[in-house]
Chains A and B, each alone.
Chain A
C-alpha cells in the first residue's frame, strides 16, 4: 500500500506543513510508504522552494486558479490517483479537503490522526476521542482513506539537497473559482506560544482581568510567553490568539506554570509536551495536580506576589 501527501502551496504555513507531513511519513507510518507528494499550486510560491522541501520519490504539481477548498476538491476528485491513503496536514484546509474528498469519492476519513499503519492487510489510524481522554484506533473500511493530522506533531528537518523527486504536472487552471470575494487578515501572532521556552498559562481560576494581569506580570518576570484555557478565552479575559489547547496553540516549553487551570484534557493536550510543569491550584482534586511535576495547593493570589519578588530580586 502506498500513500500520498497532499499539500496546499498557496498557504503561508506550507513549509511547516510539508515538514510535519515528512516527519509523520518517516516516524508514524507503519508498514506503509508515502511515495508521492501532491502539491496544489496557485503559482504564488516559488517552485524551487516546493522542490527543496519535498522528500518523496515522486511529486505531482497541480496548477489551480485558486487553492480554496472548493477548487482544490474539484481538482483532486478529477486527478488520476491510485494511492489508497492520502495524508493531509492539520488545520482547517487539510481537515475540510480530507473529509469532503473522502465523502465525494466514497472513501473514509479521519481528522486529528497521530499515526497510521497497515495491520493484517487493513489500514488503521490512531487518534484521540472523548475530548482527548481516550486514544482510539480505527479501522478504515473504504479507500481512499483521507487522513488529516493532529495539530502539534513534530516537524522534520528539510530533506538534504540532492534527493531527487520526479515531478509530473496537471493543469486545472480552467476550473471555476468559488464566488464571493474574500478579505484575509493575518492572525495576530500567537505570541510565539508554540516555540516558547517558558510559558505561563491560566484557567477559570484566574477569575478575570485581575488574574490575567498577574499572569502577564509573572510571565514578563520569567521571560515567558503567556496564554490561557478555552474557558478563559471564551469569557474574553484574553484574546483567542492566546488560547492554548487542541483548538489553539500546541506548546512544548522547557518550563510551564499553570495558574488556576483545572487541567481539562483538551487544554492539557496543549501543554503535555512541556519538559517540566508546575501548577498552582487551590483544588487538590483538580486533574492538573497529578498531571504536573510539582503542584502547589493554594490560591495563586497568595503565591504569585512573593514569586514575583523572588524572581525580580534575583534579576537585580
Chain B
C-alpha cells in the first residue's frame, strides 16, 4: 500500500489519504461507504471513481451504497471514461445487454469493471520530486448503519479433483500419452 501511495504521489496526485480500516470490522460495506461519503463531502468532490468490489469481502456493494448515501447517480462495470468540455464526461460501461456509452454531468460515482488499464510508470525525476510527500492516514470513524449482513460461518471452497500427474517423458511422449489415454475417446464424435 505504501509503494502504491508513493507511486500515486509521483504521478502528481495532489494528496493521498489512506483510510485506516485495521480496527474496523470485516464485512461492513456500510462503514466504508459512509467513510467515503464523508470524505467526498469534505473535499467537495463531484466525481468518485472506485473499484468494483473488494477482494476480501467480495461484497461489490460499497460503490452502490456510496451513491445512495450521496444521492448521486452511479454507473457500474465502467470500462472507460473521458472528459467532455465544458463539464461533462463520456462514460463507457458494460450492461447486461451490451456496451453502453453515455454523456453525463457530475456529480457521479463510477465503479470500474473489466477495463484493460494500468497505472502509468512515473519517471525517476517525478519519483524523487513528488514521491516522498507524506501520506495522510485517517482513522475509520464515521456514523454508519450497522451491517445489513453479518458473517455466520466460513468454509473453504473444495475444488480438488483426481489431479493425476503426467510428467518427465519429454514433450512428444507426454502429448502422445495424454492423447491416447485421456483425449482420444473423449474427442470421438
| A contacts, CB < 8 Å to B | 8, 11-13, 70, 91-93, 95-96, 99-100, 102-104, 106-112, 124-125, 127-142, 145, 178, 180-187, 198, 222, 230, 233-236, 240, 243, 247-248, 254-255, 265, 268, 272, 276-278, 284, 289-299, 301-304, 306-307, 310-311, 314
Decide yes or no whether B8 CB sits under 8 A from chain A. Answer: no
Known: A129-B56, A254-B186, A291-B163. A310 touches B151 (CB 8 A): no
Q: Mark B39-65, 1 if CB is under 8 A from A, else 0.
A: 000000000000001011111110011
Report the bound CA distance from A111 to B113 in whole Å.
15
Contacts of B31 in A (CB 8 A): none
Report the bound CA distance from A182 to B150 in whole Å.
38
26 contacts between A and B (CB under 8 A): A70-B73, A92-B96, A96-B74, A108-B149, A125-B149, A130-B56, A132-B58, A134-B154, A135-B154, A139-B152, A140-B148, A142-B148, A178-B73, A182-B102, A235-B116, A236-B116, A243-B114, A277-B161, A278-B183, A284-B165, A293-B182, A301-B171, A303-B175, A304-B175, A306-B172, A307-B179
Decide yes or no whether B129 CB sits under 8 A from chain A. Answer: no
Report the bound CA distance from A310 to B79 in whole Å.
41
Known: A276-B186, A278-B182. A307 touches B175 (CB 8 A): yes
Contact of B184 among A145, A182, A299, A314 (CB under 8 A): A314
Decide yes or no whether B187 CB sits under 8 A from chain A. Answer: yes
Q: Decide: B167 and A298 in contact? CB cutoff 8 A.
A: yes
Decide yes or no whether B121 CB sits under 8 A from chain A. Answer: no
Q: Decide: B187 and A222 in contact? CB cutoff 8 A.
A: yes
| B contacts, CB < 8 Å to A | 27, 53, 55-61, 64-65, 67-69, 73-74, 76-77, 79, 93-105, 113-114, 116, 118, 145-157, 159-168, 170-172, 174-176, 178-179, 182-184, 186-187
Classify the secondary structure of B's interface with A: mixed
Known: A184-B100, A292-B163. A136 touches B154 (CB 8 A): yes
Report the bound CA distance from A38 to B96 in whole Å.
18
Report the bound CA distance from A139 to B99 in whole Å.
35
Report the bound CA distance from A46 to B65 in whole Å.
34
Please give me the residue from chain B that is nearest to A275 by CB atom.
B186
Q: Decide: A139 and B64 in contact? CB cutoff 8 A.
A: no
Contacts of A276 in B (CB 8 A): 182, 186
Known: A294-B182, A295-B164. A133 touches B174 (CB 8 A): no
Contact of A104 among B68, B114, B166, B178 (CB under 8 A): B68
CB distance from A259 to the nearest CB of B (A): 12
Q: Decide: B160 and A107 in contact? CB cutoff 8 A.
A: no
Contact of A302 among B95, B154, B171, B187 (CB under 8 A): B171
Q: Decide: A141 and B94 in contact? CB cutoff 8 A.
A: no
Report the bound CA distance from A297 to B179 in whole Å.
15
Known: A294-B178, A297-B165, A306-B171. A138 touches B149 (CB 8 A): yes
Q: Decide: A296 and B166 in contact? CB cutoff 8 A.
A: yes
CB distance from A18 to the nearest CB of B (A): 13
Contacts of B100 in A (CB 8 A): 182-185
Contacts of A12 in B (CB 8 A): 96-97
CB distance from A200 to the nearest CB of B (A): 12
Q: Decide: A131 and B55 in contact? CB cutoff 8 A.
A: yes
Q: Decide: B149 and A139 in contact? CB cutoff 8 A.
A: yes
Please give me the residue from chain A that is nearest to B79 by CB atom.
A240
Report the bound CA distance from A303 to B101 in whole Å.
43
Contacts of A136 in B (CB 8 A): 151-154
Contacts beyond the supplied A103-B69, A104-B68, A135-B157: 17 A-B pairs with Cβ under 8 Å: A11-B97, A91-B96, A99-B65, A124-B152, A133-B156, A138-B149, A178-B73, A183-B102, A187-B99, A234-B114, A234-B116, A268-B159, A293-B162, A295-B163, A295-B165, A301-B171, A306-B171
Report the bound CA distance from A103 to B74 in whole Å.
14
Report the bound CA distance from A243 to B187 in whole Å.
24
Please give me the residue from chain B that is nearest to A10 by CB atom.
B97
Report the bound CA distance from A65 to B72 in whole Å.
21
Known: A131-B58, A135-B154. A290 touches B74 (CB 8 A): no
